[in-house]
Chains A and B, each alone.
Chain A
Amino acid sequence: MSLGFLFGGGVGTEVRGTEMYRSYPVMRDLYEQVSEWTGLTVGQILEEELPTAQEERQSAGTIRETALALGIHDVLVEHGLRPSALGGLSLGAMTASCLAGAIGRRELFEMLAHTRHTPELPPESPEQGLALAFAPVEGDLVAAYRGEGRAGVHLSGVFGVTADGAMQILMLSGERSALEEVAADLPPGTIAPLPDRPIAVHSPLRGHHREFMAPYVGAMPFTAPELPLFSCLEQKKLTTAEGVRDLFDRNSTDAISLPDVCAGMKEEGVRLALIMGGSIPDGILRFPFPVVHVDQPEHVQQVLTSAFDLGIDLAPAQTGR
């Protein structure tokens, strides 16, 4: 009966983690370190307004989210809570890979910093966007969201079944106008555009980013994970350095699946998962194990109590380098 650590994707629009930062020296130490590695100030990493240029903003946002997730991990380790299995979505998959020992922290942050040099798309390119889609649980997935075959709309993520088992939540990426068309064609509430997300993540529209990053990722010193690590690109346990490199390479253009990550962790014996940094909202989704969100100091005690109540083995394990 083991403890899983789960990391969400995306770059949040809210500042999170300031209370954790102020409460735990180990977290402040990490932020200092990340500042040295990335050239961002601690204030930028923690809470200041992100840059406005799109790729630069995305880069700084991913550094912020990753620093928070790793910082919370370090706080939990100080309290004797170490993961027995790791998984994450999108950016979270890369954080999980780091904590599994497949890539160093410095290398991860330097890679995230490098992404700010991704060439911006030409101004005449169609505006991109993201949307959530709420689909019936039963029936064909593609038919359910009715986006397949629509030019400019891509199924970019599967988040899984809602907490009450009534619906499933998908993510659509694409050209903003095409997403708006889908939303208008379907019953109200079926499609929820995410207005603050201007990048069509996990879709072919991110091909230029993948192409730009490919040489960099190709040169990164990956090693085989030392802890069970689960991919978000397919239901798969990553056991080799090349498997992790492949994840990093395809992460920007391939669709992600939270159910795949969770299924792997469940099979690994996870009976309680900790969701780092508030990156997956509370109470929305059904998980195959209890989850506790950790983004505030009081959550640490809650985790300790839940772990004890659920009979979780808190055996020592290796953590990220």
Chain B
Amino acid sequence: MTSTTRTPAGSRAAECDRLVRDWLDTDLDAWTRRVVARHFDPLTGSPYWLRRAAGLDFDPRDLTRYDQLTAFGPFPVEVLRDMDPADLVPLAVPRPLTGRIWDTGGTTGPPCRLFYTPDMLLHRGAWRRWSFVSEGFLPHRTWLQATPTGPHLIGNGVWETTELFEGRTYAIDMDPRWVKRLIRAGRPADAQEYTTHLLEQIADVLRPGRVDYVNTTPAVFQALTRRFPELVAPLKGVRLSGTQLSADMYRDFTAAMSDGVCGRSYGNTFGNAAGLPVEQNAELMPYVPNFPQVTMTVVDKQEWSEAVAYGKTGQVRLTVLHDDLLLPNILERDQALRYDPKGKWPSDGVANVTPLQTTSSAPEGLY
């Protein structure tokens, strides 16, 4: 199961659908025990976690419940900047490892790097396919992928829309690190010029009218909607991720496409969450994680181990429980409302995600 294996598309689709059904039926505590046992197996565990185990005051294999994963503390993501990504992959995966290393972050410092095994790529792809179907995208359509590629996992979306969703896909490349560098350097005009460069490439692909769906960031799609509304209007849908999405933008996008689907996801190379239908005229935009390998909750900004009440705002805490990658308690640089899926999902969701703000959040400060 690799991204380069040629398999009849229909059978991949069926395989993805079956996997998602099984994952949604998974008991999270049992899954936690399985993944922890695999990573801490003295002979076939992952080198990083076996090293960490020596310094822990508990035996991780004694953990029986998902909520006990807080015992590991917040995951120190900075180690992912220098460590060999192979050290996080259990030795049960045959060495030498062959496959891709992907980045996350990198716009404000050195990126974190992770090795994705074929199963992990399929997991991500299967959930993307689930999102496409549930949001109303149709197979056998033509896509334009206008996202970062290269080290960015979102670029693997070309494989997801073609191999797993039976589509044809155009692609253009973009470099978010360059844009952020220009912004940080106080060069908004140069950042704008780079955006124009992207928009012209996108317009060139869209102009003949062969593209049904665009996969890009809200920032780029907003710029496209303003610069080339005539090319956005006939689109049948857009799939958005990667930058902040406001309620106004969502409403603008749906209005700009005469008959278009507006799909959304939230996440990064660590893990992702699929958009559920918006509520309250898009004032509430919820997401649910790619369960059980990815789970999220929203925690108090001052006390990372405490989830806030449903509907309250806090910091997003992500836990990754792949067979081949264990990353408990990643404190994301995002904040969100804790979303109660009310039985529609086996775990917490998040909603209205925005960049993390470190400032007062006590109601007493209102006056």
Contacts and interface: CB of A to CB of B under 8 A. Distances in A.
Q: Which of B184, B223, B355 has the most CB of A within 10 A?
A: B355
Contact of A302 (B217, B219, B337, B355): B355
Contact of A304 (B184, B217, B283): B184
A278 B365 contact: yes
29 contacts: A10-B366, A10-B367, A14-B365, A16-B360, A132-B364, A163-B311, A165-B280, A166-B311, A171-B367, A192-B364, A194-B367, A201-B367, A271-B248, A279-B365, A280-B366, A281-B360, A283-B312, A283-B314, A289-B246, A290-B244, A290-B246, A292-B357, A298-B358, A302-B355, A302-B357, A304-B188, A305-B183, A306-B244, A310-B249
B179 to A, nearest CB: 7
A104 B312 CA distance: 40
B359 A295 contact: yes
Nearest to A130: B367
Given A282-B313, A290-B246, 18 more contacts: A16-B360, A163-B311, A163-B337, A164-B337, A194-B367, A278-B359, A281-B359, A281-B361, A281-B362, A281-B365, A281-B366, A283-B312, A286-B283, A289-B248, A305-B183, A310-B222, A310-B244, A311-B219
Interface string A283-302: 11010011011011011011
Interface in B98-126: none
Contacts, number: 129
Contacts of B314: 283
Contacts of B280: 165
Contact of A284 (B188, B226, B248, B361): B361
Nearest to B356: A302
B358 A309 contact: no
For chain B, what secondary structure do more than half of its interface residues adopt (helix, strand, loop), or is it mixed?
Answer: mixed
Contacts of B343: none
B366 A311 contact: no
For chain A, what secondary structure do more than half of its interface residues adopt (helix, strand, loop), or is it mixed?
Answer: loop
B246 A271 contact: yes
B148 to A, nearest CB: 14
B339 to A, nearest CB: 9
Contacts of B337: 163-164
A80 B244 contact: no
B131 interface: no
Interface of B: 179-180, 183-184, 186, 188, 191, 217-219, 222-223, 226, 243-244, 246, 248-249, 280, 283-284, 310-314, 335, 337, 352, 354-355, 357-367
Nearest to A258: B366
A101 interface: no
A109 interface: no
A308 B219 CA distance: 8
Contacts of B179: 308
A159 interface: yes
A146 interface: no
A9 interface: yes
A128 interface: no
A231 interface: no
Contacts of B360: 14, 16, 278, 281-282
A157 interface: yes
Contact of B246 (A8, A201, A281, A310): A310
Contacts of A14: 360, 365
A157 to B, nearest CB: 7
A6 interface: no
Given A10-B366, A14-B360, A164 B219 contact: no
B106 to A, nearest CB: 14
A197 interface: yes
A164 B244 contact: no
B355 A163 contact: no
A286 B314 CA distance: 14
A308 B364 contact: no
A284 B363 contact: yes
Given A194-B367, A311-B219, A80 B188 contact: yes
Interface in A1-56: 8-10, 12-14, 16
Contact of A12 (B183, B191, B335, B365): B365
A309 B223 CA distance: 9
A282 B359 contact: yes
A111 interface: no
